């Protein structure tokens, strides 16, 4: 499935601020629910390559993508990008954070994690304030 990110809004029909019920109504698959880091309430849709992260009120605060998802920003597919190319894409953000594991672009509400691969393992789109809560 292809997800087009709109910074600080969401991806496709999935928007930050939507309830878990509303998100689930948009997707045809029953998710696997779990708590990441014991605090992040998460629904995982394996066939879509989609993690939906919720706050304590079951409101969507972030969307994280892995393969087989195709995730786009302004028509650019983010999962296949090398870290070097991705960082170059987001260099206009003065607050861009990067380390050996990935990058976080607060200006657009997008980040990525690179494990051993030259391509992103996951790409996250997050709501304003997600990392400050």
Band (pLDDT 50/70/90 cuts) for residue 109 is very high
What are the tens digits of pLDDT across the range 18-33?
Answer: 999 999 999 989 999 9
Q: Which domains does the chain have, with CATH numbers?
A: 2-128 (2.60.460.10)
In this prediction the pTM is 0.94
Sign, CA dihedral 116-67-75-99, equals negative
pLDDT in tens, 34-90: 998 877 899 999 999 999 999 999 999 999 999 999 999 999 999 999 989 998 999
Pick 1 or 43 by higher pLDDT. 43
Which residue is it, tokens 């051993």?
116
Burial of 102 (0-12, 13-18, 19+ CB in 10 A): buried
Name the band, by pLDDT with cuts 50, 70 and 90, for residue 133. low
In terms of Cβ atoms closer than 10 Å to its own Cβ (0-12, 13-18, 19+), residue 37 is exposed
Q: Where are the beta strands (DSSP E) in 8-126?
A: 10-11, 14-15, 32-36, 40-45, 50-54, 60-65, 70-73, 76-77, 97-99, 102-105, 110-113, 122-126
Closest CA to 7 of 92, 68, 98, 85: 92
């Amino acid at each position: 499935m292809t997800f087009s990110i709109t910074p600080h809004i969401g991806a496709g029909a999935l928007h930050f601020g939507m309830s878990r019920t509303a998100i689930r109504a948009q997707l045809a698959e029953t998710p696997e629910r779990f708590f990441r880091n014991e605090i992040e309430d998460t629904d995982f849709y394996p066939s879509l390559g989609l993690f939906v992260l919720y706050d304590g009120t079951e409101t969507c605060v972030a969307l994280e993508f892995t393969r087989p998802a195709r995730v786009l920003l302004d028509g650019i597919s983010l999962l296949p990008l090398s870290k070097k190319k991705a960082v170059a894409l987001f260099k206009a953000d003065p607050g861009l954070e990067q380390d050996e594991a990935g990058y976080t672009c607060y200006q657009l509400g997008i980040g990525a994690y690179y494990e051993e691969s030259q391509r992103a393992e996951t790409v996250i789109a997050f709501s304003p304030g997600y990392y400050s809560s």
